[in-house]
């Protein structure tokens, strides 16, 4: 008797399950069909709106939707060496991006390519005697590994020259213009600031920076600000970096006319 009762219960459960199994795919199919009819991606007769997707939000929506690292219309095939996101990076990049120099026509592009070789803090936070614990080293911004050897060349390095200090467990940590906590607090509160409060906050954010950043010829000279030998450059490359003609041109000339009359190529 008990077995029969159990069998009946099992049969009911099976029936219920079978019905649910029938209903669920049918409902899913129905929803898909409704979506197909009422919400097609595109469709004949669904002329819809002539308003572009950016009309409401304007240029800022367009900027947000633009995910291309290399803009359309850029002719030369390039890699995206600089734009790669890094795990260990200075906080400056969060607001200023990878092309932060914009004002000075003569130097902006040249300074920007240095952003692929070194952190902002190398030039914008000068080493000073009060901070003996700070030193320069190659830092792999993906792994956090430091090195005094140069790998790669001409801007294509797996690491960047970084200003670091010894942290806990004798592990070097990046010197930041502000602490990460302060930066996060700023980002959290910035919507609430009045214009004057924002101005004050920006001054505080940049307080750790040197008044005068390191200029080209301070490094690109013998016994300059950067010790290229200590950073692992080969002697011939050190010679090249310390007698760099571009840095001198930038220092000495507002405009340099490229000599055309001399045909060095013999063509």
Partner 1 sequence: MRMRDTRRSGSYAAFKIMLALLAAALAFPLTAFSAGGEIRTDTENCLICHRYPGMGRFDEAGVKRIYYINEMKFANSVHGKLKCTNCHVGLDKIPHTDIRKVDCTTQCHLKEPSTEREFSHTNMVEKYNHSVHGNSDPNNPKPFPEDLPTCTYCHDNSIRSPLEGVWGTSQALANETLSRCVGCHTKDHWAQNYYLHVTHRMRHLRSQAEIIKLCTSCHEDSEKMSRHGLDSIATFKDTFHWNLVKFKVKDAPDCISCHVPIGFTTHDIRPKYDQASSVNKRNRVNTCSNQGGIQSCHPGATDDFAGGRVHAYGTKAQLVVDGAQSIAVEADESLLSERARRDMSEREIMNFKILSYIRLFYKILIPMVIGFMVCHQTLDLLATLRKNRHNSH
Instruction: Determine how many CB atoms are found less than 10 A away from the CB of residue 216.
Output: 20
Residues in the chain: 267
Tokens 């240029």 — which residue? 59
Binding partner 1 (rule: CB under 8 A), the pick from 6, 10, 40, 151 is 40
Enter the tokens of residue 70: 């290399």
Q: Is 168 helix (H, G, I), strand (E, B) or coil?
A: helix
33 binds partner 1 (CB under 8 A): yes
Among 75, 170, 194, 195, binds partner 1 (CB under 8 A): 75
Q: Pick one of 7, 30, 151, 234: the residue that binds partner 1 (CB under 8 A).
A: 30
Rounded distance between C-alpha atoms, residue 131 and residue 118, angstroms: 20
142 near partner 1 (CB under 8 A): no
In this complex, which beta carbon is closest to partner 1, that of residue 211 or of residue 267? 267
Task: Provide the 10 A C-beta neighbour count for residue 231.
Answer: 18
172: which strand partners?
166
Which member of 3, 49, 132, 236 binds partner 1 (CB under 8 A)? 49
Stretch that binds partner 1, among 21-29, 169-177, 198-206, 212-220 (CB under 8 A): 21-29
Q: Site for partner 1 (CB under 8 A): which residue of 6, 17, 21, 70?
A: 70
The reply on whether position 188 binds partner 1 by CB under 8 A is no
Question: What tokens does 19 get?
Answer: 């019905």
Whichever of 45 and 195 has its CB closer to partner 1, that residue is 45
200 lies in the binding site for partner 1 (CB under 8 A): no
Residue (207 or 263) nearer to partner 1, CB: 263
Q: Which residues of 185-198 are buried (b: 16+ CB within 10 A; e: fewer)?
A: ebeeeeeeeeeeee
Which residues 111-140 are close enough to bind partner 1 by CB under 8 A? Answer: 112-117
Matching residue, tokens 């009946």: 8
| Angle at 99 (CA atoms; ends 153, 234), nearest 5 degrees | 20
Q: Given the rule CB under 8 A, which of 43-51, 127-135, 169-177, 196-204 is the region that contacts partner 1?
A: 43-51
Counting residues that bind partner 1 (by CB under 8 A) gives 81
- Residue 150 burial (CB < 10 Å; 0-12/13-18/19+)? middle
Determine, following the binding rule CB under 8 A, whether residue 166 of this chain makes contact with partner 1.
no
> What does the alpha-carbon distance between residue 99 and residue 115 come to, in Å, rounded to a whole number?
8
- The position carrying tokens 């220092």 is 251
Looking at residues 207 to 266 of the shown chain, list those that interact with partner 1 (rule: CB under 8 A).
243, 245-246, 248-249, 251-262, 264-265
| Of the candidate residues 2, 105, 149, 222, the single one contacting partner 1 (CB under 8 A) | 105
Q: Does 203 bind partner 1 (CB under 8 A)?
A: no
By CB under 8 A, residue 1 contacts partner 1:
no
Rank residues 9 and 171 by Cβ distance to partner 1 and give the closer one. 9
Neighbours of 176 (CB within 10 A): 19
- Shortest distance, position 202 Cβ to partner 1, whole Å: 20
């Amino acid at each position: 008797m008990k077995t029969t009762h159990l069998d009946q219960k099992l049969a009911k459960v099976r029936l219920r399950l079978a019905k649910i199994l029938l209903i669920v795919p049918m409902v899913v199919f129905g929803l898909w069909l409704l979506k197909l009819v009422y919400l097609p991606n595109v469709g004949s007769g669904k002329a819809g709106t002539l308003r572009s997707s950016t009309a409401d939000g304007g240029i800022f929506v367009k900027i947000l939707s633009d995910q291309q690292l290399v803009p359309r219309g850029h002719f030369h095939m390039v890699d995206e060496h600089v734009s790669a996101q890094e795990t260990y990076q200075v906080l400056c990049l969060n607001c200023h991006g990878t092309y932060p120099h914009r004002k000075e026509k003569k130097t902006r592009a040249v300074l920007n390519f240095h952003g692929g070789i070194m952190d902002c803090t190398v030039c914008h936070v000068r080493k000073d005697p009060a901070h003996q614990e700070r030193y320069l080293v190659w830092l792999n911004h993906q792994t956090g590994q430091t090195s005094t050897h140069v790998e790669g060349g001409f801007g294509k390095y797996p690491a960047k020259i970084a200003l670091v200090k010894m942290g806990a467990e004798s592990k070097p940590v990046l010197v930041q213009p502000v602490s990460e906590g302060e930066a996060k607090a700023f980002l959290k509160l910035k919507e609430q600031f009045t214009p004057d409060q924002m101005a004050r906050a920006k001054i505080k954010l940049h307080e750790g920076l040197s008044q005068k950043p390191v200029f080209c010829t301070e490094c690109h000279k013998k016994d300059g600000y950067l010790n290229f030998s200590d950073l692992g450059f080969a002697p011939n490359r050190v010679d090249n970096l310390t007698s760099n003609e571009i840095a001198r041109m930038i220092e000495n000339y507002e405009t340099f006319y490229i000599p055309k009359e001399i045909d060095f190529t013999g063509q």
